[in-house]
Amino acid sequence: MLINESSSTRDNAVVLGEGCRAEGESIKDDGVIATRATWYRGGTSKALFVLRSDLPQEATDDLDSWIRAVFGSPDRRQIDGIGGADLVTSKFALIGPSTHPDADVDYSFFQVGIDSNIVATDLNCGNISAAVAPFAIESGLVKPTEGQQTVTIHNTNDGTLFYVTLNVKDGRVITTGDFRCDGVPGTGAPVRLDFKATAGGRTGKLLPTGNLRDTFDVPGFGPIEASVVDIANLIVFARASSFGLKGNEDPIAIQSDTKLMAAVEHLRGAVAQRLGFVEDVKDSIWKSPGTPFVSLVSEAQDWVTFDERTTRSADTCDFMARGFTMQLAHKAYWATGSVCTGVAAALSGSIVNEVASSQSLKNGIFRIAHPVGTIDVEIEVSRDPHGGNYTVNKAQLLRTARKLMEGTVFASRERLV
């Protein structure tokens, strides 16, 4: 992963007031490490964005330690850092000029553990991916183009490319609009992401095991049928009923069931072991903390949203999904995971295909119900009639994104020790 850059690439420098540092100038304080940074919301997540050129020497020497110091980890409250003690707010994005000939910008994603030392890079966040293009344009890495603009992004986590389309007016990214992103109050301008080129990013194959279904033994629950799919992120899908769930449960209730959480983690570890990521199932927590994700799916049904406590009816979705990552139950759902879930639904014979509505299988638009609403994905998959290989021609979804803050983040030096 690239973290070194000799000089800043911003074309238009920020005008600073008296007493502020000029670009490239460090704030001298033996007790803290000061770094220029921007706080962004992308979809239902938030992340700290930093240009490679702005990384302090301490970060290039030991990036993980610096990230933990910035976020205040490990600590379940992250009280001495900017982390919000939540999976969706403990995220970091490192951005730089593209090292890929076909991309406009490099993007590296880091999922920061809350009460652990883990800084995971074996995954991507699609929600944060929605904020990469706005940040790249506003920081001067990508020249704005009036009207609709598509930015090609090189995800250094797995080497794949994805495409972000947004609207620009008078050289600035438009962030206001009437698109509603469930899990985010209000509305905003839609940002379209397409992950069609990310199939096999982790394993080299859309179906890493070569099968649409496999069986994994999970202590206390017996043999579990699952589908393992690799696009945008690597996910193992199983029926919620296989774990004694209806599939519409509240994520806090799920998280509090220690037996269930241990079983889900065992399934995740078993898949990691079969794919060669770890030698022992128990090692997956430390050696493959972010990959694979787990999603438990079920047929469409009524559910109560986690954030607003409103009842949503079954006819507003095509199936239910509950996500698990980093040993936590997701309070919303991943954007990259939604793409993978939609592609899995489009594959006849998969676990997800089995629970999806007939209408969604016909039109390729999947409305996935999650704890705070629904997320829609547009999927188009074709299959070679001779060789049987699948090709993903479209893997799109809409998110919103906007800048929340820009300035300087201060990390305590003593936390780097």
User: Beta partners for 27?
Assistant: none
φ/ψ of residue 53, rounded to 5: -70, -15
pLDDT score at 404: 98
pLDDT score at 6: 36
Percent helix, strand, coil in the chain (nearest 5)?
25, 35, 40
Which DSSP symbol is given to 21? P
Give ∠ CA 200-99-104 in degrees, rounded to 5: 85
Alpha-carbon span 25 to 36, nearest angstrom = 10
Are the C-beta atoms of 95 and 85 separated by less than 8 Å? no
pLDDT score at 20: 35
Could you tell me the domains of the chain? 32-200+402-415 (3.10.310.10), 214-383 (3.10.310.10)
Are the C-beta atoms of 67 and 93 separated by less than 8 Å? no
pLDDT score at 326: 92
> Side chain identity at 70, as an amino acid letter?
V
Burial of 88 per CB tally in 10 Å (0-12, 13-18, 19+): buried
Q: Label residues 106-130 b or e (16+ Cβ within 10 Å = b).
A: bbbbbbbbbebebbbbbbbbbbbbb
pLDDT in tens, the chain (417 residues): 554 443 333 333 222 233 333 444 445 567 999 999 999 999 999 999 999 999 999 999 999 999 999 999 999 999 999 999 999 999 999 999 999 999 999 999 999 999 999 999 999 999 999 999 999 999 999 999 999 999 999 999 999 999 999 999 999 999 999 999 999 999 999 999 999 999 999 999 999 999 999 999 999 999 999 999 999 999 999 999 999 999 999 999 999 999 999 999 999 999 999 999 999 999 999 999 999 999 999 999 999 999 889 999 999 999 999 999 999 999 999 999 999 999 999 999 999 999 999 999 999 999 999 999 999 999 999 999 886 899 999 999 999 999 999 999 999 999 986
Helix (H) or strand (E) holding 259: helix 258-274
pLDDT score at 2: 53
Alpha-carbon span 217 to 225, nearest angstrom = 9
Give ∠ CA 128-133-135 in degrees, rounded to 5: 80
pLDDT score at 1: 57
pTM: 0.90
Q: Label residues 23-48 b or e (16+ Cβ within 10 Å = b).
A: eeeeeeeeebbbbbbbbbbbbbbbbb
pLDDT score at 416: 87
pLDDT score at 399: 98
